[in-house]
Amino acid sequence: MTTTPSPLLTDVVSEDQAEFASPSGNILCLFDGKTDHTPYVRCTVIARTWTPPPKPSNCDLDWGNDLELADTASIACAGDSILGAIQFKSASPPSWFRPSTDSVVNVGARDDTPTATLSYGRTLVYGDLFCSSDRKGVTCSNIATHAPVMLARATFSTTPPTAIGTPAGALAGSWLGHGRALDITSDGVVTIEYRANSLCSDDPTPPCDVTDGNTLRYGGLVILRVATASTSASPPVIARADVVISTDPAFVVGSSQELALVSGVVGWGGMTFCGPDAEPFACGA
């Protein structure tokens, strides 16, 4: 289920809610829950040829129409529909909508549900969740837990991959810098967020930051999977990691990046990220 979107076609959702359809209009997904600090994505397929497993005894609502992903992935037991939850308005399109690649479709048989599409090759990031659209269907995953969902006309899956990345060893942990943060899980998933120092309202060229009330949402986001890592804890600890998601064209999806740990400081992409053993001010004020 690995996705390889173009870095120029990956966007971070700034809204509290977002809904997108596949270009065919057959798959619909809704991001929600950010305001309650419990983000999730729920996806439905209008026409399908697969059959869901038997309905569990503890579900008194509709079963088998939707998949849901938060920390874990599951088939949704729900009594409502996400169809038309957020209708597209040309006067105020969603922040992630790109007129040069995305379009608007009416979902299902109704003609009153205009919904923004996520064009093939595009990825949206919402909290710890991301969803990618391609011709095979829609794949979503939780960055932190690795839980995935995949939905298509002919098939579906909520089964996690057997392998995520290479163990990160001494690099595993959280590392901070001024206006930036780096987190490396023990199983080799690297998440880097950083301030772009350019507002999307002034210049939408990625990466760019978004203001949300009094909050500044950083525009730089790169997610990598460790491919090789030093087995020794003696410095320098070197790892090579492959980019799987990027909002920054300087870090191309599929490219190999080096991370190096020396004296409590991780270096990557010309930036430094400090741990508790770093010298004071090694990573900015």
Distance CA(118)–CA(5), nearest Å, equals: 12
Distance CA(28)–CA(117), nearest Å, equals: 9
Q: Which amino acid is at 183?
A: D
What are the start-end ranges of the E strands in 85-151?
Answer: 104-106, 114-116, 123-126, 129-134, 137-142, 148-151
Q: Are 220 and 246 in contact (CB under 8 A)?
A: no
Q: Return the pLDDT at 22.
A: 94
Q: What is the pTM of this model?
A: 0.72
Q: Return the pLDDT at 257.
A: 95
First to last CA, the chain: 40
Walk along the chain (285 residues) and give the pLDDT tens digit of each residue: 444 434 447 888 888 899 999 999 999 999 999 878 789 999 999 999 999 999 999 999 999 889 999 999 999 999 998 988 888 988 889 988 988 889 999 886 566 788 999 998 888 989 889 899 988 899 998 887 888 899 999 999 988 765 566 778 888 999 999 999 999 988 888 999 999 999 887 887 888 887 767 778 788 889 888 999 887 767 788 999 998 888 888 998 889 999 999 999 999 999 999 999 899 888 876
